[in-house]
Amino acid sequence: VQLQASGGGLVQAGGSLTLSCAASGSIVGIDSGGWYRQIPGHPREWVATVTTGGSTNYVDSVKGRFTISRDNAKNTVYLQMNSLKPDDTAVYYCLVDVILTTRARYHYWGQGTLVTVSS
Strands (E), 1-119: 2-6, 9-12, 17-24, 27-38, 45-50, 56-58, 66-71, 76-81, 90-100, 105-109, 113-118
Q: Which residues of 80-89 are buried (b: 16+ CB within 10 A; e: fewer)?
A: ebeebeeebb
φ/ψ of 86, rounded to 5, equals -55, -30
Gap between the Cα atoms of 50 and 77, Å rounded: 9
Q: What is the mean pLDDT of residues 4-27?
A: 97
pLDDT tens-digit readout, 57-89: 999 999 999 999 999 999 999 999 999 999 999
113-118 and 9-12: which strand pairing? parallel
How high is the pLDDT of residue 112? 93
